[in-house]
Structure 1
Amino acid sequence: MIDLYTWNTPNGRKVSIMLEELEVPYKVHAINIGEDEQFTKDFLRISPNNKIPAIVDHETGVSLMESGAILLYLADKYGKFLPNDAVGRAKAWEWLMWQMGGFGPMLGQTHHFAQFNPGIAPYAEERFLGETRRLYGVLDKQLEGQEYIIGEYSIVDMACWPWASRYEWQRIDLADFPNVRAWYQRLADRPAVQRGYHIPNHVNEIPKG
């Protein structure tokens, strides 16, 4: 049994989608970040950085924080959603790091300045909205001629899709990025993605793109 500590955020949804795709048993522990539950002493023992998601794998005794590390761990443990060859794995790591270092953090800043605090910091708002559009352009180019980010469905898609699912917060029209839009809708049709999106609870329907 795997314990998943999570909330309805893009980073949290990465791992719940992965667990649903794997079809392995897991128990959900909701960590309400709106009520600062991520700062409790009990959660600190599991996630030293006080961030969701985190997991405890009772089969192996492994406790992990950081969504990217969790995805890699689960892919290695179960032998799924990560290429077996060295070149394929390197491409997966490359695009996973792209998400962890860019597509997540930059879009998160866009949420902060453009969605929740519009007009307060015009320079920051303009900067992050611009960088968000640039990153969508990078993703659109990568998806040209293929259904998934590294060619086959992988943890990279699971890492990127939850961030793209908040395109409305980012003032992005997916029609401007047709390859991203087709990919986004392709993943949104997957039953495991639909189930994972609503962990730990139902907040809203999946945006249609």
Structure 2
Amino acid sequence: MSDVIKDLSELRLSYEQGELHEDQVSGQPHLQFLNWFNHALTAHLHEPYAMSLATANRQGRAHVRTVLLRGATEAGYDFYTNYDSQKGLDLAENPYAELLFYWPSLERQVRIGGKVIKISEQESTDYYHKRPRDSQIAAHISTPQSGVIESRELLQQRFQALQSQAQHELDKPEFWGGYRLEADYYEFWQGRPNRLHDRLSYEKQNGVWTIRRLMP
């Protein structure tokens, strides 16, 4: 097997599944997102609630990772993490971020941008106690998230130690909780033949959402 990828130019698909027209979308982007998201759920896609979260620190250095959507309301889009993680550190310095949902079997993509805030401590606590117990334990021992650890075995030892000690309900760690992205920008992308893709953006101006068609 070659250790060099020389040419990927022949690897491409033709997108044929759908169209996106201004007169067929909701005037409210959150409702349009829910429409597409529910379609992805009913299509039984693998983890349609998985989303890429892009953040950047004060110096403009970008970081991106996949997280899980855990709430979607008109107020915003919720996810949970360790506050001391790279994403938490980035958001403390620069509270703006973007989410990206990509559903390849539907040939659809959604970008959502805006300011990120911490959700209330009570909301974070309520969600924490809905998680499986082993996930609660993992939140306690996986800190600082993205920190260096000597081995997988050491991580497993910490997990098993807390698993055997914790016979009662675990409290939510202070360093763990939720964020909410308050959207001020959306882009809906539908793949089309010949790379003439449909792209509709929603941008809030003076409290009103304006829809624009973008070049592919």
> What is the TM-score of this pair, normalised by structure 1?
0.23
Higher-helix-fraction structure? 1
User: In terms of Rg, which structure is larger?
Assistant: 2
Higher-strand-fraction structure? 2
> What is the TM-score of this pair, normalised by structure 2?
0.22
